[in-house]
Amino acid sequence: MSRNAVRQDPYRPHVHYTPAANWINDPNGLVYFGGQYHLFYQYNPYSSSHAHMHWGQAVSTDLVHWQERGVALTEGEHQIFSGSAVVDWKNSSGLGDGTSPFLVACYTGHTETHQAQYLASSQDRGETWTLHPDAVLDRGKQDFRDPKVFWHAPSAAWIMTVVHPIEREVELLRSADLHTWTSLSVFGPTGETGGIWEVPDLFPVLDDDGQEHWVLKVDLNPGGPYGGSGVQYWLGDFDGQRFTTRTPSRWVDHGQDFYAAITWHDLPERRVWLSWMSNWQYAHHVPTATEGWRGAMSLPREVGVSVDADGPILVQRPVPELQILRQTLRPLHLGVTSLQVDQAHEFLLNWSAAESFHVRLEFRSEAGIEVSVEVTPEEVVVRRPKTVVTAGLDGYAGEHRAPLPPLGAYDLHLFLDASSLEVFAGGGRAIITDLLFPAQPICEATCTIKGLDHGSFTGALWPLSQADFST
């Protein structure tokens, strides 16, 4: 399908990455190398259904505009399930020629009865790949997958997190060469265990005072906050062998459609991740397949930690690079503001704390209210009603709530696209990501603000230009 034809699709994202055609799910192999952000993902090049898993590929220089490169890792004796990629700077794997750094992917090879971890390498910055035939980690199990590999400088070794899905366990392993792996420890089962565990990630971030916190994140399906799939995390410490928690399990996202997030490897000075924007509860049935595609990625997010009265908490904020898409600013005022909208928009509201306030955004099409967002001192709520388009999607309609701690200042940062809504509130403490399939295109936004003084509030809306997703 040409990109010109793609633009006519009413649900095709304007600022969220999706390939021109076919099925995608989990992001894989996120790595920054050669001045490019590499995005690989689970991809079926033959249809808009989940089958024949390959790794698709796209690259970007700014996390906003993406060039689709087609298939990177091709299905053969096994399907190419999820995994990660690293830069092998010193040829520790022995897979390079010793003259320059190169990319190594570690992925799960999947058959109907067996899963094990394999390597692939690229000497030309991801343009072409060599799949190496022998498994580097094989436990003889049917369910054993999703290796996330990173370099741990204090140990002078590669560390892998990998899941035992049925057992609800994350295993940590160490290697000097990416081939031979030694088990270090096992985390779990703990936290949310209502579904199998998938797609782990382990990484450090600094809070505002410069203290290091390690984040262990793992997905589960089902057992999410509203049924279907979801993402949980813990904050704690990693000593090179074992992860120990300092917080209870919490949800990464309180919406329905954020799954399988992983962080970019070798990205200096910050942590950025994105996710598959869907839910296994209804992913196979979202109303896009008639246009030849199914699945999209969330916006990239910077990940950090804030320390509140109740302790440290994960925060997520949209990457600042997205601001290059902003068009002419349109102000929002106290009281009621109604605006005509189409395509993609960004909203940013800021206000000082008040004893009682109520901020509400409603998005309407000619068919009526398609979704609403409310913020009070205690929580953020997204209400996603059933429509004629989504009547067959079990679990789609409902209220999604994210708690807010007491704060001195509040904000609501929201991205509305053709078929999605991403809500960031409370300095990135409360996150809700929801797919949105309006019965007709959204044409109006109404912002209602009560309980605030004029001097305490600022609000803005930007229409967003179309991000370039080229092939």
Kindly state whether residues 45 and 146 are assigned to the same domain.
Answer: yes
Amino acid at the residue 175: S
Contacts of residue 23, Cβ cutoff 8 Å, sequence gap at least 6: 43, 44, 47, 48, 49, 50, 51, 293, 294, 295
**Claim to verify: residue 23 and residue 132 sit in the same structural domain:** yes
Cα separation of the two ends of the chain: 10
Active site annotation includes 26: yes
Stretch 372-387: mean pLDDT: 96
Segment 196-215 shows an average pLDDT of 97
Mean pLDDT of 248-270: 97
Query: Which pairing describes strands 22-33 and 293-294: parallel, antiparallel, or unpaired?
Result: parallel
**Contact by Cβ (8 Å): 257, 420:** yes
CB 137 within 8 A of CB 173: yes
Range of the domain at 14: 3-317
Q: Quote the pLDDT of residue 1.
A: 43
Q: Is the pLDDT of residue 212 over 70?
A: yes
Q: 383 and 277 in one domain?
A: no
pLDDT at 290 over 80: no
Of 9, 26, 124, 143, the catalytic one is: 26
User: Of residues 268 and 270, which shows the higher confidence score?
Assistant: 270
42 and 187 together in one domain = yes
Q: For 110-124, 193-207, 225-239, 279-293, which range has the lowest pLDDT when averaged over its residues?
A: 279-293
Does the structure show a pLDDT above 70 at 4? Answer: no
| Region 235-242 average pLDDT | 98
Q: Same domain, yes or no, for 436 and 310?
A: no
Task: Looking at the structure, tell me whether residues 328 and 306 fall in a common domain.
Answer: no
- Identify the CATH number of the domain in which residue 36 sits: 2.115.10.20
Same domain, 265 and 278: yes
Which amino acid does the sequence have at 108?
A: T
Residue 20 and residue 104 in one domain: yes
Task: Average the pLDDT over 403-428 and give the result.
Answer: 97
Are 104 and 16 in contact, with CB atoms under 8 Å apart?
A: no
Two tokens, residue 292 = 């030849």
SS3 category, 6: helix
Question: Is the pLDDT reported for residue 227 higher than 90?
Answer: no
* CB-based contacts of 187, cutoff 8 Å, min separation 6: 169, 170, 171, 172, 216, 242, 243
Per-residue exposure over 67-95, b if at least 16 CB sit within 10 Å of its own CB, e if not: ebbeebbebeebbbbbbbbbbbeebbbeb
Q: Do 452 and 389 belong together in one domain?
A: yes
pLDDT at 2: 47
The total number of structural domains in the chain stands at 2
Question: For position 289, what pLDDT does the model report?
Answer: 73
CA pseudo-torsion sign 121, 123, 126, 127: negative
Mean of pLDDT values over 345-351:
97
* pLDDT on residue 3: 53
Check pLDDT > 90 for residue 433.
Answer: yes
39-70: per-residue pLDDT in tens? 999 999 999 999 999 999 999 999 999 999 99
> Where is the domain boundary, 282, 300, 317?
317
In the listed set 293, 317, 341, which residue is the last one of a domain according to the structure? 317
- Going by pLDDT thresholds of 50, 70 and 90, the confidence category of residue 354 is confident
pTM score: 0.96
Residue 456 has phi, psi (to 5 degrees) of: -100, 0
Look at 355 and 433; give whichever has higher pLDDT: 433
Confidence of residue 7 (pLDDT cuts 50, 70, 90): low
Note whether 236 and 309 are same-domain residues: yes
Q: Residue 428 maps to which CATH number? A: 2.60.120.560
**Mean pLDDT (whole number) for 25-32:** 98
Among residues 259, 284, 317, which one ends one of the domains? 317
Task: Provide CB contacts within 8 A for 239, sequence distance 6+.
Answer: none
| pLDDT tens per residue, range 96-128 | 988 999 999 999 999 999 999 999 999 999 999
Which DSSP helix (H) or strand (E) runs through 4?
helix 3-6
Could you give the count of Cα atoms lying within 13 Å of 356 in the half-sphere of its Cβ?
Answer: 0
Q: Average pLDDT in the 268-294 region?
A: 92
Q: Is the dihedral of CA 222, 403, 442, 366 positive or negative?
A: positive
pLDDT number for residue 454: 84
Pair 353, 399 in one domain: yes
Judge if 211 and 251 occupy the same domain.
yes
Averaged pLDDT score across all residues of the chain: 95
Supply the pLDDT for residue 211. Answer: 96
Q: List 213's β-bridge partners, or say none.
A: 205
Residue 159 has pLDDT above 50, yes or no: yes
